[in-house]
Structure 1
């Protein structure tokens, strides 16, 4: 009798172990397929199954959730000054973000030092930060951010948010830190474009997590795109290529054209839209949109087509330790300006015409829109 009971228990245990293993495999596959907040819940469940395998990763997720909670509680940053606490929280989030995305390459790196004061650098000649704003110093892993030199001489300061502008610069400089320690991934031959790409990825992540609105990104980035670098020893690319690098990073993180950034739909690489109304006339069916369209103005561009950097946060070019002196404070004056302009767009589905209020052009065929936004809107809504 005892032998029969022991045999029965053994069979039950074997079946239970097999069933548990099947459940573990199913849980693993489920976790792999999930993302975002849902993935967090799945990951916590999976951690209970294999706690010894997930101790480090779970700690990282907990850290992310803690930072997200702090940023949610913090709310809208100051627009009139660079909000240091807001930037410090995002600085920690950037480290967590890039560490998580570097694990697949088997890479890691130390957290850099954010310098928002006006003291002396520990590396790069130990010079005053006020003389070297907005740089990455690889010899001491320091990042400086000071937006004040950037806004002098800009022609359009309407709705400027200095905190979001500073965040864009910080994300670019942090990109150099990642490049320095783990190498480039996207733009193997261009340090600046790689840092621009990394900046675009992080800001898209921030928008996806509702840490900043698209409006905050565009208003802050408007001036950021227009920052120029005329130091001929730097390795900056022309504005259009740098803008494309930035948007490629944004698209790689956000899933690109056809995806939503908050309540805004990305129509093309350079445009976003939000439908705000429609007419009820049967013969003249019109739709109304708020739109963002990136426009380059060359009124201040010097002869010879010498371009400034679009994502122009200055840094130690190619990781040089003593030569990281190309500060934004020392830039040339003549440069093109790039802006995400917020416009009102009217689309006539009957006549296939569109009009943008305030752009200086009369209504024209949707097929005349070189940015492709009108064609995409007509295809989606008409």
Structure 2
């Protein structure tokens, strides 16, 4: 070996490792696994493998890829269900993070026992959402709480939103799975003062703020566009020859329905009053503690939107509202779809003002 070749070998051995980027094989191989995941035990595609791969991706994302990446962040240990933390009082926990030992215990099955979830929310998505939230606690502890400096749980939800947006932006999470994840965040919010988590609307707001902070392009969404933080659209093929100059689209819109919450709180209030009048003191106290805990329903709904470029109006099927002017869409989705697509159908189409986010 010559002095020159020996120097090259020494330089290669002592040179720093190549930086981790989104194009690194360590990232792309894991993204491909979760993107194409189908439960198949014979091929090693199990629920545990899916969760472990996301655990590794979360480490790579927060250590190397996030805008506020922390390369020196402590490693996290993902413990199997039924485990005890090695610190934090050695408690047996479900879906929790221990900052003293940097450990996460994941047991998503317990969520279904305590919360009412849509039957269409798959177990793997529940596990992903909880894992991203618990990892958010670890990053908060190791770095900062970012935009939610005074609210630990909201900060963890914010970081979970960032990670899921990154997955979506890299084609590893479909719009359908993303909307299910957002629905999950809303449905498991604890809407009472005794809980360390915030109310469902606040949890959803923090989650979506994380999505906006990360940003999602439409390149890998199979025709779907994220119009606003609360809306997605997929415009059906246009017909320039159609005299109606109408656009048809499938849309996701996040909607809040408080009717069930109001009715639930009225019923628990009446039951509490009856318990105090007729029952024991303990029963009275227990009943009154349930008052005010009914939660509003909130979810992304998949609907059909019809938009008329000439008459500058739109209608959303099934929302109970008649066709209305484009300017009336408070969410700003109809205006954005019109501004994006109507110029191809109407030569002199004038852009519709978009409402300012509230």
Report the TM-score when normalising by structure 2: 0.73
Is the 8 Å Cα contact of residues 166 and 214 (structure 2) preserved in structure 1? yes
Is 1:285–2:245 an aligned residue pair? yes
What is residue 274 of structure 1 aligned with on the other side? 234
Of 130, 134, 140, which aligns to 1:169?
A: 130
- Tell me, in whole angstroms, the C-alpha distance in 2 between the residues paired with 1:103 and 1:153: 35
Is 1:160–2:124 an aligned residue pair? no
- Tell me, in whole angstroms, the C-alpha distance in 1 between the residues paired with 2:22 and 2:326: 49
Q: How does 1:114-193 map to 2 (within 5 A)?
A: 114-128=78-92, 132-152=93-113, 157-193=118-154
Of 295, 319, 324, which aligns to 2:255?
A: 295
Secondary structure of the corresponding residue to residue 291 of structure 1: strand
Most deviating of 333-342 and 262-271: 333-342
Is the 8 Å Cα contact of residues 30 and 57 (structure 2) preserved in structure 1? no
Is the 8 Å Cα contact of residues 102 and 108 (structure 1) preserved in structure 2? no
Is the 8 Å Cα contact of residues 61 and 69 (structure 2) preserved in structure 1? no
The root-mean-square deviation of aligned C-alpha atoms, in Å, is 3.3
- Tell me, in whole angstroms, the C-alpha distance in 2 between the residues paired with 1:274 and 1:92: 32
Of 289, 307, 313, which aligns to 1:353?
A: 313
Is 1:344–2:300 an aligned residue pair? no
Most deviating of 344-353 and 357-366: 357-366
With over 3 angstroms needed to count, the CA separation of the structure-2 counterparts of 1:242 and 1:223, relative to structure 1, is closer
Comparing both chains, which one has the higher relative contact order based on Cα–Cα distances under 8 Å and sequence gaps of 6 or more?
Answer: 1
Of 222, 225, 229, which aligns to 2:186?
A: 225
With over 3 angstroms needed to count, the CA separation of the structure-2 counterparts of 1:223 and 1:102, relative to structure 1, is closer
Most deviating of 226-235 and 350-359: 226-235
Secondary structure of the corresponding residue to residue 375 of structure 1: helix
What is residue 216 of structure 1 aligned with on the other side? 177
- Tell me, in whole angstroms, the C-alpha distance in 2 between the residues paired with 1:207 and 1:98: 16
- Tell me, in whole angstroms, the C-alpha distance in 1 between the residues paired with 2:186 and 2:294: 14
What is residue 110 of structure 1 aligned with on the other side? 74
With over 3 angstroms needed to count, the CA separation of the structure-2 counterparts of 1:282 and 1:302, relative to structure 1, is closer
What is residue 198 of structure 1 aligned with on the other side? 159
With over 3 angstroms needed to count, the CA separation of the structure-2 counterparts of 1:165 and 1:374, relative to structure 1, is same
Is the 8 Å Cα contact of residues 78 and 163 (structure 1) preserved in structure 2? no
Is the 8 Å Cα contact of residues 345 and 357 (structure 1) preserved in structure 2? yes
Secondary structure of the corresponding residue to residue 259 of structure 2: coil
- Tell me, in whole angstroms, the C-alpha distance in 1 between the residues paired with 2:14 and 2:308: 58
- Tell me, in whole angstroms, the C-alpha distance in 2 between the residues paired with 1:231 and 1:333: 6
Of 34, 53, 59, which aligns to 1:95?
A: 59
- Tell me, in whole angstroms, the C-alpha distance in 1 between the residues paired with 2:298 and 2:98: 27
- Tell me, in whole angstroms, the C-alpha distance in 2 between the residues paired with 1:277 and 1:102: 36
- Tell me, in whole angstroms, the C-alpha distance in 1 between the residues paired with 2:155 and 2:14: 33
Q: 1:221 Cα shift?
A: 2.9
Secondary structure of the corresponding residue to residue 272 of structure 1: strand
Q: How does 1:76-95 map to 2 (within 5 A)?
A: 76-78=37-39, 83-95=47-59
Q: 1:280 Cα shift?
A: 5.5
Q: 1:69 Cα shift?
A: 1.0
With over 3 angstroms needed to count, the CA separation of the structure-2 counterparts of 1:237 and 1:62, relative to structure 1, is closer
Q: Which runs of 5+ in 2 are unaligned?
A: 1-10, 266-291, 343-358
Q: Which runs of 5+ in 1 are unaligned?
A: 1-49, 306-331
Is the 8 Å Cα contact of residues 231 and 251 (structure 2) preserved in structure 1? yes
Report Cα offsets for 1:65-114 as digits up to 9, x if no partner.
Answer: 224314414523459x9922111101111111111157967762212121
With over 3 angstroms needed to count, the CA separation of the structure-2 counterparts of 1:262 and 1:183, relative to structure 1, is same
Report the TM-score when normalising by structure 1: 0.69
